[in-house]
Chains A and B, each alone.
Chain A
Amino acid sequence: MKQNVHEQVTVYDSSGEDRIALSAWKHMFAEIWQFRELINRLALRNIAGQFRQSFLGYLWVALPPIATTVVFTVLRSANIFNVPMEGELLPYTLFTLIGITIWQLFTQFTMTSTTSISNAGALVSKIYFPRETLVLSATVSLLVTAAVNALIVALVFAVQRFVPAWQSVLFPLYCLPIVFLALGLSLFFAPLNTMMNDVSRILQFAFQFGMFLTPTVYRTPKYEDIATIWETILYWLHTLNPVTHVIVTVRQLTTGEVLLAGPAYWISAAVSVLVFALGWRFFHICEPLLAERI
């Protein structure tokens, strides 16, 4: 029998101290690095499997934001509701499309990654591998969806004959906080969702309403113009929501209003990264408890 000097000794014990200690960070990064191929593989599986049995394939990714945008544009044009757009450089259609696309990507990232563990079912309860890989691969596979969405938005810009400012090439970078925020939330919610699937239902519900409480189809009231308590509430709901700042910044990139985003954006970006770090840590700590509750 071959003797391997470097044979690794795996330890599973009840103390869980190694997961709680500060040094766990090193272990967490090492694990992700070690399992990068698996993450890619699972992501490819999600991507390849997703639309194999459908005619329209990736058009299904593009459809929801377009449809929502069309509905709101029509409703606004028909004067069903009034959205003040004075001083806005973007046409309403593009304004809404950017808002909706980013919001829907955010919710899709969060939902898919949150349910990734509970959907894996037998895989998790029968085989051990780092469970983070499931959440991360769900996110990675959605990057393709995001790219398709970006393409669609660009197409609509072309159709509308609106030439975006050169700064808009930076939009992928400015969208990164969304990915971190979604990952952080999913790493936090995914373990809870394995225990009670109420979690994903609540999220679905929250996201449905969240869209209207984020400047997706209308603008945040200007602080100077706030007249009522409702406007105040709305203002703070928007401001405290990290997604708001990404949406606003991307819109401003396309119109060339900004190159470097303001402090609000960076604060929200920092918050997103913090949410990610905390979520990941939380996930890592409860990882050994996942399989038996699924």
Chain B
Amino acid sequence: MDNSVAIKVEHVSKKFARSLKRAMYYGLVDIGKAALIPHRFRSEGLEARINDDRSQVPVSANTQDSGFRSQVSDAGLRPTEFWALQDVSLEVRKGESVGLVGANGAGKSTLFSVLSGIYGPTDGRVQIRGRLQALIALGAGFHPTLSGRENIYINASILGLTTKEINSRLEDIIEFSGIREFIDSPVKKYSSGMLVRLGFSIAVHVDPDVLLIDEVLAVGDAAFQRKCTDYSLKLAQSGKTIVTVSHNHLFIQSMCSRVVWLDHGRIVAEGEADDMLRRYRQFMAAPLDQGRLDTSRSGHPLLIHDMYWTDGAGERVTDLPAGQPVTLNFDLEAFEDVSCARVWIHLHHLEQAHALTGFSMYDDGHYIRCRKGRGVLQIRLPSLYLSSGEFYRVSAGIRDWICGAKLADSFAPTPFTVNDDGIPCLSGVGDANRVKGSMGAKLYIPYEWRAAGNIELRDDNIGAG
């Protein structure tokens, strides 16, 4: 293996059984075969394939897109078995930070487990250079009645430290965990947050060459989360090799230079982080489209046939211009007269549950009256203050003013994007394209810089020119 490569995954596949009883049976069969038939694991052609790869011209790491491979092989699967990973090949160079993205069940955790040696691959080969540490099972092996201090020794030993190493790092571990005053109480008296603090603190002090970071960072209080995130960033910057799994794209974006996108156990694509994340989000947005035009009447007096955006010129758009006037249109049908109904609208970022903002007739005192038949309701926004390059969705509902009863099924149309083509250069200097959502922000608010006195405002484009 090339010296500069930290992780090399070659054609790794891993299968699991869905049924517990089957898994028991297969486990026995596998063990029996392993013990009685030498080389039963040997998969035909693996060596050949690996050698084949070597003879190929190396593909550049940039946006190497293998796409969905069409061959979905059921060969070698017994009943109820499925491939959790299938023919995954991946290389991580030393000092590189790679993010794994993919829907739940895409195989991210399985890949982590194979990388850390917990599961042997069904097929293929993994090579790791240096000490690898997975931040996935924080506090594994903690004994509830033993003290925090005793458990540091146990946990750190399991993670591969010698007693001497633990002794020298003990103080740092306790300090970093921030629970010094409880360190001699039994860990079963710890809150779950304290357990995670201690576990994380031990794990990062193992000082591995290669780190696998799972979404453990999403626990603990805000202060500790920040501490962990900062620490991870520091590790990434200090030249550690890091592979991270997270649904927090901001975290991945700030940490990883390269992103690998997994789906159904296969690598869909890999490439430069920003680009991959964008494509991944685009992909994740797609399934929401389906079934949205279910215009069958469901017993409510009103029906939202369609909901769509139009721009200033009245053209239907799904890519909305930031900073420009836009209109959200409701195509409504009333099956009976409705005397007073109120409409609410929520605007969400695609990946977030809570709304960015909302427009509600409950708040502004309006209501609508509908006679039997069809009509259009519009809400016009004089300027769209959303960052470009992100995905958004709206949801809306109509309720009776008096009793609050639902008058129409809520409606979730296609997610939309925002572009920054129309953003005016407010300050006269600067590049409008750079007004897009920086640092993952979702809200775009027009602004301009001003300077006075000894401070002069300049623009690097002009400065460079």
Seen from chain A, the residues whose Cβ lies within 8 Å of a Cβ on chain B are 1, 4, 7-17, 19-20, 37-38, 41-42, 45, 48-49, 52-53, 120, 122-129, 191-192, 194-196, 282, 285-286, 288-289, 291-293
Contacts and interface: CB of A to CB of B under 8 A. Distances in A.
Interface stretch (B98-106, B109-117, B436-444): B109-117
B117 A128 contact: yes
A289 B128 contact: no
Contact of A126 (B120, B124, B127, B136): B136
Contacts of B162: 37
A288 B119 contact: yes
Contact of B116 (A7, A45, A120, A128): A128
28 contacts: A8-B130, A9-B127, A11-B125, A12-B120, A12-B121, A13-B124, A13-B125, A14-B42, A14-B123, A15-B42, A15-B46, A17-B42, A41-B154, A49-B144, A123-B137, A123-B141, A127-B140, A127-B159, A129-B158, A129-B160, A195-B31, A285-B34, A285-B35, A286-B30, A286-B31, A286-B34, A289-B27, A291-B113
Interface of B: 1, 16, 23-24, 27-28, 30-31, 34-35, 38-43, 46, 94-95, 113-114, 116-132, 134, 136-137, 140-141, 143-146, 150, 153-154, 157-160, 162-163, 186, 209, 239
B126 A13 contact: yes
A289 B120 contact: yes
B297 to A, nearest CB: 50
Contacts, number: 157
Contacts of A49: 143-146
A17 B39 contact: yes
A10 B117 contact: yes
A293 B27 contact: yes
Contacts of A7: 129-130, 209
A16 B34 contact: yes
B42 A126 contact: no
Q: Give the 6 A-B CB pairs with smallest separation, nearest first.
A: A126-B137, A288-B120, A16-B41, A128-B117, A13-B125, A1-B239
B205 to A, nearest CB: 15
B154 A45 contact: yes
A291 B28 contact: no
B145 A53 contact: yes
Contact of A15 (B28, B41, B128, B143): B41
Nearest to B23: A293
Nearest to A38: B157
Given A1-B95, A49-B144, A129-B158, 9 more contacts: A10-B127, A14-B43, A15-B43, A16-B41, A37-B162, A41-B157, A41-B163, A42-B158, A289-B27
Contact of A195 (B24, B42, B140, B150): B24
Contact of A292 (B16, B123, B136, B154): B16
A293 B132 CA distance: 23
Given A13-B124, A37-B162, A53-B145, A195 B132 contact: no
B158 A127 contact: yes
Contact of A10 (B43, B122, B132, B154): B132
